[in-house]
Each structure stands twice: as C-alpha cells, then as structure tokens.
C-alpha cells in the first residue's frame, strides 16, 4: 500500500544510526513527567481527595478514562504488561464486579458533567471478557459518565482472541478505534516468543472490526525480539501494510528478565539479536513505513498523512499521555483496574499491580490507590518543557518567559549548557527565542528532553534505551 506523501519536510531525514549509537542512553518514555518510577507511597502527601476536588474546579476540563483488563489465556514470553494468565472466565466476572465498585467510588468524587473525550480499554487482553461482560461494562459507563459526541473510544485487540459477537458489542458501545497486537509475522519468531498468530487471523480481525464500523485500525509491532533480523522485520512491514492500517506503533522490545522472568528463556536459547542488529531493524521498519507514505509522529508512532495524529503533528497540536501520542489536549485521566495510572493537573496516582491488594482496598470501601506524586510548581514547568520537546520538537522561550515571568535561558542555563554536544552535532539548536530539535535530532527526542528532567537518576536499568 502506497499512501500519498506529505509535502517533503525536514523530517524526511534518513536515520543516522551512528548518531543513535553514540547518544542513545537509557531514559524515560515521558508519557508523564515525572516518570512513573518516581511515584511514592506517601499517600498523605498526595492528598488524592484534594487533587480530585481541584481537578473538578474547571467543569469544562475533559475526562479520559482508562480500564485495565488484565487477563490473558496464555503468556507471550516477551510481555512486559501487567497480566494475569488464566483460562477461568469467572475471574473476569469477579473483576468486573470490582471495577464497578471502583467506578462508583471515583464517581462519588468526580464532577460527572465533565465530558468524556477519550476511553481506552487496555490489558492484558480486553477481549478475554465475553461479549456479555463487555456489554455490561459499557452500560455502566454510559449510565455513569457523559460522553462527548466525538469521543475517541478505543480498545486493544488480540486477533487470536476476538469473536464476531464481541466486535458487535464493542461497536454498539461506541468503540471507534482498535489497536491490534501483531508484533511480528514470521513463524519462527512467533514460535520463539510463544505467540502463534497467522496472517489469516490478522486479516479476519481487521475485516470483523471494519465490517462492524470500527474503521480506525492501529497495528502494534515490536522490534528486537528473538530471531528477528532486518529481513524478517522488512517482511513483517510489507505484510501488515496489506491490512491498510491507519496508524502503527513500533515498540522497542524491552529485555528486563530481572523484572519479567519469562524473558529469561531468550537468553538461555541464545536467540537475542545484538544491539547493533536491533538498531538496524528500527531503521528498516522506519524506512518501510515512510516509503509507504506514513508520517513519523515521534518515538515509535507512525500514521497515515490524513490521520488526525499526523494532522496534529503538522499543526503543532500533538499531546502525550500514558497511551503515547494523542490528539486530545488537557484531559484529566482516570484509570481503573490493577496497575492503572490517573493524572490531574496537580497529581499522578496509581493502583496496585497486585489483584489481591486491589481487591482488599475495594472490599474495605476505599479507592485502591497505592502510590502517586503531587507536582510542585517547578515540576509543572519542567513537564511543559519536556512535553513541548516530545510533541512539538520546539520550545518558545519568549512566550513561556512572558507566561512564567522569567528569562528561560537564565533559569535553565545549566540544562541548556548540557545540550552542547547535541548542539555541536546539529541535533538541536537554541537561542534567546527558543529551542528547536532539528530533523537529524528527532530520533533522539528523549535524549533532548532528559536535559530538563530533574528527577533523573542515571542508573541505566529502569528505562528502555532512548530509541
């Protein structure tokens, strides 16, 4: 599939693998600032009730809802998500009852007249839940919240585990975007990662969704998996383009066997690609998608030029949240279910990853918050700077200086000085008026953003490499 190209822009620069090799270091993905590994368990300091009350102060501030549905029928060995492997359907029934309790507890504190502009079901495998359970959840949500007519409602779909009945229910619930986990189409790679998924299954899932009216399709790929090569990922790109996706997420495999023991098998079998090969794979995928007309949104996101994400990228209205890049600005996020994260202008808070702890809190009639973070005024300023780099590749020092009543080049003198090696390589430019990440520097957005991260402990292990 070849899409019409954007007018040529600077971001058509080829990927410079030497530069990436030189500067890519472990760093956060900046779906939040501070990153989630800085959240703490001092809930008194968090003052969640106060944070939600302050969030309600602006009744026009939209809501974004996230539901973590954690169950999967079998484990993919590369998986880094918070999952519970089971085939017991009654676990989903019990979990839904718990989600309803949590919804009621949150609803008691929230201004329910605020419009819901985004809804996302993630996992796990959301379609582990039967059509009946999904319908039940959808009805509770429609009864509880006020959805904006143009709300973006999305779900993660495992093409191996989705039925026509579920798709019909999802469409009736208002789901209008689906993300399909594909990862890689090569059968040897699929066998190595314990995830067999034929091209027919992928095509069937896309056909089911589009026939039901769920037109917007994201596909998720992963590079750096065992047995992958430049040739296999090139083939994967060509095969998934035949599914006519609107967006693709191309994730770097995070090898963290000390956190996810199932990943140890890849080392035992000696199947992991070398870092050099992994970088080359990213180059191959990026080239394949750009040759097919997809726009590089940033980090790991690609979109058709007529997709709202690509339009937002062109118009400078891109945003970033826990789901990655987004077109929706200024929404407060309320997460439900184990491990889910919420955010308001003043705070982040997160539920426990353990089902037992989640269940215990709800049985006691309290919100299952386990940790969080209350942002200082300085944190908020740095969040603006980091998100400006991640989304717009540009900071307007003059405009921010007028707003904040200071000279940014003085206030962040040390941070800007630390960018000197990147300036010398023409990856970033700055003067009194602002900072710009050049097209050459775009693959290293996170490295530029890290200069303004006050929380960064450069330990190296907690984060993925910055490509």
Report the C-alpha gap between 283 and 268 in whole angstroms. Answer: 27
364, two tokens: 């006691």
Nearest approach, Cβ of residue 272 and ligand SF4 (Å): 18
Residue 426 CA from chain centroid, whole number = 29
307-326 positions binding ligand SF4, by CB under 6 A: none
| Identity of the residue, 100 or 160, whose beta carbon is nearer to ligand SF4 in the bound complex | 160
| Identity of the residue, 172 or 262, whose beta carbon is nearer to ligand SF4 in the bound complex | 262
- Residues with Cβ within 8 Å of residue 149, at least 6 apart in sequence: none
Helix (H) or strand (E) holding 129, with range, is: none
71, two tokens: 């169950």
126-185 positions binding ligand SF4, by CB under 6 A: 158, 181
| Identity of the residue, 181 or 245, whose beta carbon is nearer to ligand SF4 in the bound complex | 181
How many residues bind ligand SF4, per CB under 6 A? 11
Characterize the bridge pairing of strands 216-223 and 177-183.
parallel
Q: Is 220 in the site for ligand SF4 (CB under 6 A)?
A: no
Q: Is 339 in the site for ligand SF4 (CB under 6 A)?
A: no
Nearest approach, Cβ of residue 181 and ligand SF4 (Å): 6
Report the C-alpha gap between 10 and 296 in whole angstroms. Answer: 11
Q: Is 72 in the site for ligand SF4 (CB under 6 A)?
A: yes
* Contact status, residue 351 vs residue 338, Cβ threshold 8 Å: yes
**SS3 label, residue 67:** strand
| Identity of the residue, 83 or 327, whose beta carbon is nearer to ligand SF4 in the bound complex | 83
| Identity of the residue, 260 or 384, whose beta carbon is nearer to ligand SF4 in the bound complex | 260
| Identity of the residue, 179 or 326, whose beta carbon is nearer to ligand SF4 in the bound complex | 179
Q: What is the dihedral of CA 171, 172, 174, 179, to 10 degrees?
A: -20
Nearest approach, Cβ of residue 157 and ligand SF4 (Å): 10
Report the C-alpha gap between 217 and 61 in whole angstroms. Answer: 28
409, two tokens: 């080049």
Nearest approach, Cβ of residue 148 and ligand SF4 (Å): 29
* Contact status, residue 46 vs residue 349, Cβ threshold 8 Å: yes
Q: Which stretch binds ligand SF4 (CB under 6 A): 50-58, 69-77, 270-278, 339-347?
A: 69-77
| Identity of the residue, 79 or 169, whose beta carbon is nearer to ligand SF4 in the bound complex | 79
**Of the candidate residues 27, 124, 324, 388, the single one contacting ligand SF4 (CB under 6 A):** 124
Q: Which stretch binds ligand SF4 (CB under 6 A): 53-61, 111-119, 120-128, 354-362?
A: 120-128
CA distances to 64, 238, 363 from 433, in Å: 34, 43, 55
Question: Binding marks (x or -) toward ligand SF4, 73..92, rule CB under 6 A?
Answer: --xx--x-x-x---------
Nearest to 74 by CA among 90, 60, 82, 85: 85
Residues that bind ligand SF4 (CB under 6 A): 72, 75-76, 79, 81, 83, 123-125, 158, 181
């Amino acid at each position: 599939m070849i899409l019409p190209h954007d007018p040529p822009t600077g971001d058509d620069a080829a990927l410079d693998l030497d530069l990436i090799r030189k500067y890519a270091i472990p760093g956060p993905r900046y779906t939040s600032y501070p990153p989630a590994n800085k959240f703490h368990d001092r809930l008194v300091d968090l003052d969640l009730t106060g944070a939600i009350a302050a969030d309600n102060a602006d009744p026009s501030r939209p809501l974004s809802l996230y539901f973590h549905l954690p169950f999967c029928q079998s484990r993919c060995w590369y998986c880094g998500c918070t999952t519970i492997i089971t085939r017991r359907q009654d676990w989903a029934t019990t979990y839904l009852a718990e989600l309803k309790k949590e919804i009621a507890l949150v609803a008691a504190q929230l201004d329910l007249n605020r419009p819901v502009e985004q809804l996302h079901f993630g996992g796990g495998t959301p379609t582990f839940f039967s059509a009946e359970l999904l319908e039940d959840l959808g009805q509770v949500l429609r009864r509880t919240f006020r959805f904006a007519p143009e709300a973006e409602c999305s779900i993660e779909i495992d093409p191996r585990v989705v039925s026509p009945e579920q798709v019909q229910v999802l469409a009736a619930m208002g789901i209008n975007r689906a993300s399909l986990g594909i990862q890689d189409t090569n059968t040897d790679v699929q066998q190595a990662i314990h995830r067999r998924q034929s091209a027919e299954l992928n095509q069937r899932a896309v056909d089911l969704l589009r026939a039901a009216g769920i037109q917007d399709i994201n596909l998720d790929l992963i590079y750096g998996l065992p047995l992958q090569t430049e040739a296999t990922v090139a083939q994967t790109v060509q095969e998934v383009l035949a599914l006519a996706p609107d967006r693709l997420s191309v994730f770097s495999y995070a090898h963290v066997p000390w956190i996810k023991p199932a990943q140890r098998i890849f080392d035992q079998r000696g199947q992991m690609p070398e870092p050099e090969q992994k970088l080359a794979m990213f180059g191959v995928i990026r080239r394949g998608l750009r040759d097919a007309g997809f726009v590089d949104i940033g980090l790991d996101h690609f979109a058709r030029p007529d997709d709202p994400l690509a339009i937002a990228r062109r118009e400078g209205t891109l945003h970033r949240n826990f789901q990655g890049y987004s077109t929706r600005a200024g929404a407060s996020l309320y997460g439900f279910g184990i491990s889910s994260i919420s955010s308001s202008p003043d705070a982040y808070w997160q539920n426990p990853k353990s089902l037992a702890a989640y269940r215990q809190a709800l049985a006691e009639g309290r919100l299952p918050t386990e940790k969080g973070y209350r942002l200082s005024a300085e944190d908020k300023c740095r969040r603006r700077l980091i998100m400006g780099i991640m989304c717009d590749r540009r900071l307007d020092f003059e405009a921010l200086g007028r707003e904040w009543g200071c000279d940014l080049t003085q206030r962040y003198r040390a941070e800007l000085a630390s960018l000197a090696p990147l300036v010398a390589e023409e990856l970033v430019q700055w003067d009194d008026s602002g900072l710009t990440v050049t097209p050459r520097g775009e693959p290293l957005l996170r490295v530029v953003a890290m200069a303004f991260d006050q929380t960064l402990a450069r330990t190296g292990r907690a984060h993925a490499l910055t490509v």
